A and B are shown apart, each in its own frame.
Chain A
Amino acid sequence: MATRAAGKRRPLLRVQNLKTHFFPDEGTVRAVDGASFEVCAGQTLGIVGESGCGKSVTARSILRIVEHPGEIVEGEIRYLHRTDGREVELDLAQISADGPEMRQIRGGEIAMIFQEPMTSFSPVHPIGSQIVEAIRLHSPLGKREARERAADLLRQVGISRAEARLNEYAYQLSGGLRQRAMIAMALSAEPRVLIADEPTTALDVTTQAQILDLLRQLQTDLGMAIILITHNLGVVAEMCDTVVVMYLGRVVEEGSVDAIFHNPKHPYTRLLLQSIPSLHSEARVPLPTISGAIPHPYNRPEGCPFHNRCPQFIPGTCDRHVPELQALDEEESDQLVSCFLYHEPTDERA
Chain B
Amino acid sequence: MAGWLIRRTLFAFATAWAISMLSFVVIQIPPGDYVTSYIAQLQSQGTIFTDDEAQALRDLYGLDQPVILQYFRWLGLMAQGNFGVSFEFNRPVLDVIGDRFLLTIVVSVAALLLTWIVALPIGIYSAVKQYSIGDYAFTFIGFIGLAIPGFLLALVLMYFGFVLFDANVGGLFSPEYAQADWSWDKLWDLMQHMPIPALALGLAGTAFLMRIMRANLLDELRKPYVVTARAKGLTNSQAVLKYPVRVALNPFVSIVPFVLRDIVGGSVIVSIVLSLPTLGPILLKSLIAQDSFLAGTIILLLGVITVVGTLISDILLVILDPRIKFKARGG
Contacts and interface: CB of A to CB of B under 8 A. Distances in A.
A122 B225 contact: yes
A134 B233 contact: yes
A103 B243 contact: no
Interface of B: 223-225, 227-236, 243, 246-247, 250, 320-323, 326
Across the A-B interface, give the 3 residue pairs with the lowest CB-CB distance, nearest first.
A107-B233, A107-B232, A134-B232
A120 B225 contact: yes
A73 interface: no
B231 A112 contact: yes
A111 B247 CA distance: 24
Nearest to A63: B231
B234 A137 contact: yes
A5 interface: no
Interface residues of A, number: 32
- Please report whether the interface of chain B is mostly helix, strand, loop or mixed according to DSSP: helix
A155 to B, nearest CB: 20
Contacts of B247: 122-124
A125 B243 contact: yes
Given A124-B247, A126-B322, 9 more contacts: A63-B230, A114-B227, A115-B224, A119-B223, A120-B224, A124-B246, A172-B326, A185-B232, A189-B233
Given A122-B243, A124-B321, A124-B322, A114 B230 contact: no
Interface of A: 60, 63, 65, 98, 103-104, 106-108, 111-112, 114-116, 119-126, 133-134, 137-138, 169, 171-172, 182, 185, 189
B322 A169 contact: yes
Nearest to B230: A65
B253 to A, nearest CB: 12
Nearest to B249: A124
A281 B243 CA distance: 49
B231 A106 contact: yes
Contact of B323 (A137, A138, A171): A171
Nearest to A56: B227
Contact of A98 (B235, B243, B322, B323): B235
B242 to A, nearest CB: 8
Contacts of B227: 60, 65, 114, 120
25 contacts: A63-B231, A103-B234, A103-B235, A104-B233, A106-B232, A106-B233, A107-B231, A107-B232, A112-B231, A116-B224, A120-B228, A122-B229, A122-B243, A122-B247, A124-B246, A124-B321, A124-B322, A134-B232, A134-B233, A137-B232, A137-B234, A169-B323, A171-B323, A172-B326, A182-B228
